[in-house]
A and B are shown apart, each in its own frame.
Chain A
């Protein structure tokens, strides 16, 4: 699998081990209401959730507090992403429990563009590590140059 050049990476990632939280940040050229819809309607979620780019095999959404959701990819039917919604506040906030962690999607729109933050708050540092490991789906070998560039990019992000 070819690795994405560092310059093309658009998603910020910060891990805070003290609060066992993974935070992803990304800008979209779309209003927050659209993004909220993309997160909460099955016909939309099914189109983008699978990192492999395939439509989801199963995408069930019961959008109300306590309502369940289940996303199943074609490639890994044994690893569904399932949980329940906690808080649904369109168009800027969605909170859910998923795989034992709390997910928080926050959308902030400015001049037609939206800054999205996805926080994954784990119960413990151990669970955080497990969560990170779940992304491991291939033994992607990276060159040291790529890795250093990646690390430097992260450091450059320090204000």
Chain B
């Protein structure tokens, strides 16, 4: 029914990139990269922390060449990047992608967080008034 949060991030991120009218070529490659469910699942895994090809093989039950092929597509779309350890070649979600998305949605979320914190405090006052 409701889209998984990662999908939301991806959708909003794509939207913000679209509205800034940057790299049209990049955008179509990003869309293509995201059209595959396995690649989306890989992104969801990487959003929890960086992982190497072998770490990705086990949960997805895919061969190393298949995983590598998917990673290459994601990498060229700018969605993921290489981690710090050059030997193990871990991949991680491109932090800039995360930042763009969170920057955009955070003020809205914070506004409601504050509003509902107010409601919470007000409900406590209502309860107190009823008790006295």
Contacts and interface: CB of A to CB of B under 8 A. Distances in A.
Interface of A: 3-4, 9-11, 13-18, 22-24, 26, 28-30, 34-35, 37-38, 44, 47-53, 118, 129, 131-138, 140, 142, 144, 147-148, 150-152, 154-158
Given A10-B113, A38-B126, A48-B118, A135 B5 contact: no
A131 to B, nearest CB: 8
B67 interface: no
Interface size class of B (residues with CB under 8 A): 35 or more
Given A10-B116, A24-B112, A142 B11 contact: no
A39 B121 CA distance: 14
Contacts of A150: 102, 106
6 shortest A-B CB distances, which residue pairs?
A: A135-B108, A48-B118, A51-B114, A147-B102, A154-B5, A135-B111
B17 to A, nearest CB: 13
B2 A9 contact: no
Interface in B92-108: 95, 98-99, 101-108
Interface in B9-50: 9, 11-12, 15, 44, 47-48
Nearest to B130: A34
A48 B121 contact: yes
Nearest to A151: B98
Interface of B: 1-6, 8-9, 11-12, 15, 44, 47-48, 95, 98-99, 101-127
Interface centre among A13, A15, A44, A144 (most CB of B within 10 A): A15
A134 B108 contact: yes
Given A51-B112, A155-B47, 8 more contacts: A10-B116, A10-B120, A29-B124, A44-B126, A53-B114, A151-B47, A155-B5, A158-B44
A48 B112 CA distance: 11
B15 A129 contact: yes
A139 to B, nearest CB: 9
